[in-house]
Structure 1
Amino acid sequence: MKHSIFLIVFLPIIMGAQSNFEKAEDLFQEEKYEQAQTLFESLYSSNPSNLKTIEYLGDIAGQSKNWDKAIVYYKKLKELKPAEADYHYKYGGAMGMKAKESNKFKALGMIDAVKASFEKAISLNPKHIDARWALIELYIQLPGFVGGSESKAIKYSNELLQISTVDGYLSRGHIDEYFKRYEAAEKQYKKAVALTGSKTSYYKLASLYKNKMRDPEKAKSILESYNDKKNQGRLN
Structure 2
Amino acid sequence: MHPARLLISGLLIVALGNGVSARADNAPAYRALQHGQVDEASSLLRLQLAQNPSDAGAHQLLCRAAYAEEMADTAVDECQKAVAAAPTSGENQMWLGRALGLKAAHANKLSAFGLARQAHNAFERAVQLSPENARAASDLGEYYIAAPGIVGGGSDKAHRLAQSISSRFPAQSHRLLALLAEKQGDLAGAEREFKAAVAAGESAEAYIDLGFFYQRHQRPDEAATTISKALAADRTRGEVLVDAASILTDANRLPDVAEKALREYLDSGTQTDAAPVFKVHVQLGKLLAARGDRTGAKQQYQAALALAANYGPARKALSSLG
Match for residue 116 of structure 2? 111
Conserved 8 A contact 2:94-2:136: yes
Match for residue 214 of structure 2? 209
Specify the SS of the correspondent of 2:200: helix
1:1-16 aligned at under 5 Å gives the runs none
Match for residue 106 of structure 2? 101
Conserved 8 A contact 2:131-2:137: no
Specify the SS of the correspondent of 2:178: helix
- CA deviation profile, 1:175-222 (whole Å, cap 9, x unmatched): 22233311111111111212211111112222323331x333333333
Out of 85, 88, 105, the residue aligned to residue 83 of structure 1 is: 88
Conserved 8 A contact 1:78-1:88: yes
Deviation of 1:26 (Å) = 2.9
Deviation of 1:145 (Å) = 5.1
Match for residue 52 of structure 2? 47
Match for residue 3 of structure 1? none
5+ residue gaps, structure 1, are: 1-17, 232-236
What TM-score does the superposition give when structure 2 sets the normalisation length? 0.60
Distance 2:42 2:211 in 1: 37
Out of 222, 225, 242, the residue aligned to residue 221 of structure 1 is: 225
Structure with more of its chain in helix, by fraction: 1
Specify the SS of the correspondent of 2:142: helix
Conserved 8 A contact 1:166-1:195: yes
Specify the SS of the correspondent of 2:141: helix
Match for residue 63 of structure 2? 58
Conserved 8 A contact 2:97-2:119: yes
Match for residue 131 of structure 1? 136
Counting matched residue pairs gives 213
Deviation of 1:70 (Å) = 1.6
Q: 1:37 to 1:197 in 2, by over 3 A?
A: same
- Cα RMSD of the aligned pairs, angstroms, is 2.4
Deviation of 1:156 (Å) = 1.7
Q: For residue 51 of structure 2, what is the amino acid of its counterpart?
A: S
Distance 2:232 2:74 in 1: 44
Deviates more, 1:181-190 or 1:220-229: 220-229
Deviation of 1:146 (Å) = 4.8
Conserved 8 A contact 1:58-1:74: yes
Deviation of 1:19 (Å) = 9.2
> % of aligned pairs identical?
24
Deviates more, 1:62-71 or 1:221-230: 221-230
Q: 1:21 to 1:83 in 2, by over 3 A?
A: closer
Out of 146, 167, 172, the residue aligned to residue 167 of structure 1 is: 172
Q: 1:85 to 1:21 in 2, by over 3 A?
A: closer
1:180-195 aligned at under 5 Å gives the runs 180-195=185-200
Larger Rg belongs to: 1
Deviation of 1:121 (Å) = 1.6
Structure of higher RCO (CA pairs closer than 8 Å, 6+ residues apart): 2
Conserved 8 A contact 1:20-1:39: no
Conserved 8 A contact 1:91-1:117: yes
